Amino acid sequence: MTKVYINGKLYDKNDAKISVYDHCLLYGDGVFEGIRVYGGKVFRLEEHVRRLYDSAKAIWLEIPMSREQVAEAVNRTVKVNDKKDGYIRLVVTRGAGSLGLDPRKTTDPQVIIIVDDITLYPPEFYEHGLEIVTAATIRNHPNALNPRIKSCNYLNNILAKIEGIRAGCVEALMLNHKGEIAECTGDNIFVVKRGVLWTPPIDAGILEGVTRNTVIELARADNIPVREAALLRHDVYVADECFLSGTAAEVVPVVKCDDRVIGTGKPGPITRALRERFHALTRE
């Protein structure tokens, strides 16, 4: 039976519960991280914990544990579940309170750690690539809710995801308020043009993905030029290659966008090379 960590205690999956008055449930008031486990080791835990605390600070949420204690709790939960390869969902809620938005009326923030399995895309998508479509739902305006905050309110992404699903795609591309490419509903996006790797910058309204940063590091280590710059849908349409990156998705090729074939219509050499390097980094 899967064990779930809640505020220092481990519960069986079916017994892991929080209050229905928790403001995370009532209003999406909380933050989270998705983290991977490879070979029994947590991947880039320090970076994920740092981003968790940055998100919490941005929404005036005080996590009732130190960073070291959170990291220790994550490792402990992975060990208890004997999970060699899997996915971690680390959540911090605002805590239970009265009805109404006022966070001052909440108490006892909940630190929750779930360790389980995840399969985002079937194997054939990694081999042959997937198709995406541009969603009409734009990314949250950074002056309304900064996308760099990984909050528990994911309705913006979910609405775009629904658009993709209704169009027959498993993922959808989201634009920012300026009409530029931001990211997909759960992944960052990269394109390759004439041997150069391009990706939207942080100020395009994206989450600064841990896997995104890892891919950039791997590309530069392999002497692949990397540019962070504003991109338009045109840049995806005329790209030689395209792929997505994310904690759950890892590195997955994209071969068609808005019914336009990208490059040869097959995963390109730089995409394949970076996917292999990422696989080697995480598995070895």
Tens of pLDDT, residue by residue over 149-183, are: 999 999 999 999 999 999 999 999 999 999 999 99
Give the pLDDT score at 116.
Answer: 96
Fold of the CATH domain 3-116? D-amino Acid Aminotransferase; Chain A, domain 1 (3.30.470)
Domain boundaries along the sequence of the chain: 3-116, 123-283
Distances (CA, A) of 262 to 98, 200, 243: 51, 18, 10
Model confidence, pTM: 0.95
Q: Extract the residue ranges of the chain whose pLDDT is less than 50.
A: none
Give the pLDDT score at 283.
Answer: 85
Residue in 184, 230, 72, 205 with CA at minimum distance from that of residue 140: 205
Q: What is the DSSP string of 95-140?
A: -EE-SSS-GGGEE---EEEEEE----S-HHHHHH-EEEEE-SSPPP
Give the pLDDT score at 120.
Answer: 81
Question: Phi and psi at residue 279, in whole multiples of 5°?
Answer: -60, -45
Residue in 207, 189, 176 with CA at minimum distance from that of residue 33: 207
- Region 123-283: CATH code: 3.20.10.10
Which amino acid, one-letter code, is at 264? T
Active site residues: 150
Cβ proximity of 130 and 169 under 8 Å: yes
Give the pLDDT score at 119.
Answer: 84
Place of tokens 């600070």: 57
